[in-house]
Chain A
Amino acid sequence: MIKTPAYIHFVQPGLLSSIQDLGRFGMAVYGVPYSGVMDRFSMTQANYLLQNQFYDSVLEMGGPGAKMVFEMPTRVVFAGADADIYLNEKQVKAGKILDINEDDTIHVRKFRKGQWLYMGIQGGFESEIVAESRSWYPGITPQSRIEKSDSVCYLSEERFYPALGSHAKMNLNWFKHGEIKVFKGPEWDQLPKLTQNRIMKKSFTISTLVNRMAYQLEETIENEVEPILTAPVYPGTVQMTPNGNIIILMRDAQVTGGYPRILHVENNSLNILSQKRPGDKISFSI
């Protein structure tokens, strides 16, 4: 099988677009965050459909606008957020393996539901591997975000693809429910019962402070919980600040934090949570 390096040229980068895989492990002791895709479920789905390795890198997009041109043939598939995607001005569906030819253009327009859209590509992307991962992170990889007129490398394979009439039926509702499963965090027991009950019974709103590092909730919880000495935190750690803000750490989270760690989001729920958008409601359940 002959593989030829080829590039995707970004005419428009879209919002918060980057290359991500499952993340960078083993470097947290030096202060390096894990990073990796925000929504592992969707990333894995895309790679599965393409018969890639489950850890192959994908293109992650945090909003509409990406417009890209492919140099050489390949196959791609979309998963994650429900968005309007066009291949050469013809609308295409998530979950369908798209045969890409030379000079084809993909344009991601409106996001209808969800926060992160994934494009898997045959064999994954060929961006630089830094400390055993292709996940982009500021200061660690040469780039942290795709900018206008950037190019990203992939390997074009010369092989016969049988035409695929069918495609995976994608359930775009999997992240619809707002119940986020959590474990008690190390400082949970320091909260008075009343505060604990308030947190578990409340319906919270995702604020506009949403990025790869953390999602902040709009509602605040009055508290007098003691500050802690700086301690390890992870993607999924739920912190509470002295003025009552609740911050859920996401994949690019710093490795240590100084706010009490009241809860810890369960893995599958973290994927669901990542797809929530500002204004969406969530509640915690232990």
Chain B
Amino acid sequence: MDIRIFRIHSKLIELVWPKEISHEILHEQQQVRRFLEMEYAEGIREIRMGFNTLSLKLRIEISEEDCRDILEEINQMPKIHGTFASKIWKVPVCYCTEFGKDLEKLAQIHQLSIDEIIKIHSETIYTLHFYGFLPGFMYLGGLDEKLFTPRKSSPERSMPSGTVAIGGKQTGIYPSESPGGWHAIGQCPVRLFDISKEIPVIPAVGDKIKFEPITREVFVEIKQLSNQGLCTWHHD
């Protein structure tokens, strides 16, 4: 483990891993998170994740020296080998050009057919690293290099709720209508965020996501069920 600790102020500190998106780092982040939640339950107000960070908001004040001690403890904590149990969630996506407004342009950029883009995108199994950007927006790791695409130079004013898109080295689903600079390749009919639930999202950090191509007809069916609150998530 190569972890640094950075103290922003006495109640806000950050643990930093090397700058990469990897399963190994996610695994370590989850271990450290569980360890800290057990050891320092009363002192911690909130733990947030980034790709290579764990940010700790504290209830108590801590010094630079305390930070060094915590880092020492983390480095000495018992290591769990293997992986955490995780589910593979099947997320339906309609990859038609009506929803995937940028499919044709992406095919041109990458010298691939639209079908090849859909195949590459839907055959990959993605890992949920954390939620951010918008309520219910999943930061997914695992996009195939062949689909890496720089973000649009000026963002679209509105991406409809459910839009599946590619931006830079990432792919994701817009859980609500929002401006966005990513390239739209399809739309997901399933509701991704429900504030009326105690836990407003379904997949947990560390779970896997697999996109399942569906037709326009199936999209309409699932969307109707989803609007009535009858749509359920499926996993392997």
Q: Does B89 contact A (CB under 8 A)?
A: no
Partner of A31, one of B6, B16, B46, B135: B135
Inter-chain contact B195/A140, CB cutoff 8 Å:
yes
Question: Least Cβ distance of B130 to chain A in Å?
Answer: 7
A256–B195 contact, CB under 8 A?
A: no
Question: Is the pair B50, A230 in contact by a Cβ cutoff of 8 Å?
Answer: yes
Say yes or no: is B137 at the interface (Cβ < 8 Å to chain A). Answer: yes
Contact flags B11-49 to A (C-beta < 8 A → 1, else 0): 010101001110000000000000000000000011111
Cβ of A264 and Cβ of B46 under 8 Å apart?
Answer: no
B136 CB within 8 Å of chain A: yes
Asked if B131 and A30 make an inter-chain contact with CB atoms under 8 angstroms apart, the answer reads: yes
A163-212 contacts to B (CB < 8 Å): 183-186
A2: Cβ under 8 A from any B Cβ: no
B199 within 8 A of A: yes
- Would B9 and A264 count as touching, CB distance under 8 A? yes
With A30-B201, A139-B176, A185-B8: A229-B50 Cβ-Cβ less than 8 Å: yes
Query: CA A28 – CA B46 in complex, angstroms?
Result: 9
Instruction: Report whether B12 and A228 are in contact in the complex, using a CB–CB cutoff of 8 Å.
Output: no
Task: Say whether A1 faces chain B, with CB atoms less than 8 Å apart.
Answer: no
Closest residue of chain B to A25 (Cβ to Cβ) is B46
Q: Which residue in B8, B12, B21 is a CB contact (below 8 Å) of A229? A: B21
CB <8 Å contact, B48 and A28: yes
Say whether A31 contacts B137, CB under 8 Å: yes
- When distances are taken between beta carbons in the complex, the residues of chain A under 8 Å from B133 are 31, 230, 254-256
Contact (Cβ within 8 A) A232 B55: yes
A31 to B175, CA, bound (A): 11
A26 touches B132 (CB 8 A): no
* Residue in A27, A184, A229 with the greatest tally of chain B CB atoms within 10 Å: A229
Chain A contact residues: over half helix, strand or loop, or mixed? loop
Task: Report, as a range, how many residues of chain B touch the other chain.
Answer: 35 or more
- On chain A, which size bracket covers the interface? 20 to 34
A-chain residues with CB within 8 Å of residue B175 when the two chains form the complex: 31
Q: Assess whether B132 is in contact with A256, with CB atoms less than 8 Å apart.
A: yes
Which residues of chain A are within 8 angstroms of B136 by Cβ–Cβ distance? 30-31
A30 touching B200 by the CB < 8 A rule? yes
Cβ of B77 within 8 Å of any chain A Cβ, yes or no, is no
Known: A31-B133, A31-B135. Is A183-B193 also a contact (CB below 8 A)? no
Which residues of A have CB within 8 Å of B21?
229
For residues 54 through 112 of chain B, which have their beta carbon under 8 Å from a beta carbon of chain A?
55, 57
Of A28, A186, A234, A254, the residue contacting B6 (CB under 8 A) is: A186
B176 — which chain A residues lie within 8 A by C-beta? 139
Residues in chain B near residue A280, CB distance under 8 A: none
Q: Are A264 and B134 interface neighbours, CB within 8 A?
A: no
Separation of A175 and B156 alpha carbons in the complex (Å): 37
B149 at the interface (CB under 8 A from A): no
- Give A122-137 interface residues, CB cut-off 8 Å to B: 130-131
Tell me whether A231 and B201 are in contact (CB under 8 A): no
Q: Is A32 an interface residue (CB 8 A)?
A: yes
Contact, CB under 8 Å: A255 / B132: yes
* Contact between chains at A230 and B9 (CB < 8 Å): no
Contact A230 to B8, CB < 8 A, known contacts A25-B46, A26-B46: no
Q: Knowing A29-B131, A30-B135, A266-B9 are in contact, say whether A231-B46 is a contact too (CB < 8 A).
A: no
In the complex, residue of chain A having the shortest beta-carbon distance to the beta carbon of B46: A28
A binding-site residues for B, Cβ under 8 Å: 25-32, 130-131, 139-140, 183-186, 228-232, 234, 254-256, 264, 266
Could you list 22 examples of A-B contacts with CB < 8 Å?
A25-B45, A26-B46, A29-B47, A30-B135, A30-B201, A31-B134, A31-B136, A31-B193, A32-B135, A32-B200, A130-B195, A183-B8, A183-B9, A229-B19, A229-B21, A229-B51, A230-B132, A231-B14, A231-B51, A231-B55, A232-B50, A266-B9
